[in-house]
Amino acid sequence: MADTFIMSTRQAAELDHAFERNGWTPAEVKQLSSGGLLAEVRKVVLGTSAIVDREQFGHIKALAEAMAPRSEATEPTADTFIRVDRAASSTYPDWMKKMMHPELEHTGPAEYDLTKVEQWLHDGQKNGKTMRGNAIYEHLKSNDMLDSCLGLADGLAIQKKGTAVFRKLYGGKAVFLWRSVVLSRDGGLYVPYLYERGDGVALSWRWLGNDWIGGYPALRFAS
């Protein structure tokens, strides 16, 4: 048949010389002749494939992985599930004279998803406006909203989740825990809040005589 391959004596001699010149062993020639390895070599001869050494392949693979677009579906999911021991009492600063709402100290859900918590702003904080913390506090009290706000115990639980969770949900903001307003020994009212500091999440207290901006939302449980 016209398409039947027959190796001539000259071609066999050329191959024999090529194998010897390139340091092939009889065992390697036998391995080349088995399976589909020769078919892959033929692709190189025809120009439809290329030979890449292991080191070069490693560099190419690393570059491809670095340039590949990141998909949200492949990113690890942040653990935003919060558990709070409502029976335990939180540790307040030693400068505190009294809690303004001790009746709320042990109330609230024991478990919840932080992504479902509302970041609430008073109208006086929106559109670049600022307002005093005392006015926000009075609004929350007069509208019976304090019991839906998160408190110090919640803040401590959120703090333990670390920077990654906080940055994902509240990047660049300070979030306030209005359930736990306290009166200081010098007569001032203060509210706890969380903010990102360096590689961690810090908890501090803000005087209600200060101004509140749009980046200072109150954390509230969804109604």
Across the range 183-192, mean pLDDT stands at 97
Ranked by mean pLDDT, which of 8-12, 55-59, 99-103 comes out on top? 99-103
Number of domains in the chain: 2
What global pTM score does this model have?
A: 0.66
Q: Please identify, among 46, 71, 96, the residue that sits at the C-terminal boundary of a domain.
A: 71
Residue 76 lies in a domain: no
The C-alpha torsion from 160 through 165 and 170 to 175, rounded to 10°, is: -10
| Closest to 176 (Cα-Cα) out of 214, 144, 143 | 214
Looking at 45, 71, 97, which one is the last position of a domain? Answer: 71
Q: What is the DSSP string of 153-222?
A: HHHHHHHHH-HHHHHHHHTT-EEE-GGG-EEETTS-EEEEEEEEETTEEEEEEEETTSEE-TT-PEEE--
Find tokens 């959120």 and name the residue.
158
Fill in the DSSP letter of residue 70: P
Same domain, 117 and 213: yes
Of 134, 141, 128, nearest to 207 by C-alpha is 134
Percent of the chain with pLDDT over 90: 63
Residue 142 and residue 181 in one domain:
yes
For 40, the domain range is: 9-71
Domain endpoint, select from 48, 71, 94 = 71
Residue with tokens 């303004």: 100
Q: Which residues are CB-neighbours of 222 under 8 A, at least 6 positions away?
A: 116, 117, 118
CA atoms of 56 and 42, how far apart (whole Å): 21
Q: Do 178 and 121 share a structural domain?
A: yes
- pLDDT at position 131 over 50: yes
36 pLDDT exceeds 90?
Answer: no
Residue 149 and residue 191 in one domain? yes
Residues 168 and 102 in one domain: yes
